[in-house]
Amino acid sequence: MASIRQFQVTFDCANPERVARFWCEVLGYVVPPPPKGYADWDEFDRTLPPERRGCWFACVDPSGVGPRLFFQRVPEGKTVKNRLHLDVRVGTGLVGEERLAVLEAECARLVALGAVRVRLLPADGVNESCLVMQDVEGNEFCLD
């Protein structure tokens, strides 16, 4: 029998803290406590060499169930569609107009946080409707 492994989801980005804090708001995640001996992450960051300051940030599911999200600064910008994306499951079990209303309400909340609405993928008889979105750095995700 295979053992279950923990995993984290890693995002390449330009501004790790900004993107991490956006996803905290989207998912209800939190910033974990700083390393022992530091009052906050800013204090810890100031101990790093200048070229390493602000180069990563993380957030975690406060319930401990979801994966850790890790955000790392990379020099290149995003140029093509993600090969992997998150589906934020806000409409699970809902169909039709009720589902669309929930998706639209969450879309409005996330747009206010800096997300971009890309397009609605309407129900097609096989799949229910979902909304394609982009986070604050243009990474695609879906409201499902």
pLDDT in tens, 37-84: 999 999 999 999 999 999 999 999 999 999 999 999 998 888 888 888
- Give the pLDDT of residue 48: 92
Burial readout 114-127 (b: 16 or more C-beta within 10 A, e: otherwise):
ebeeeeeeeeeeee
User: Which own/partner pairs from 52-56 qualify as long-range (CB within 8 Å, at least 24 positions apart)?
Assistant: 54/15, 54/16, 54/17, 55/16, 56/16
99-125 per-position pLDDT tens digit? 999 999 999 999 999 999 999 999 998
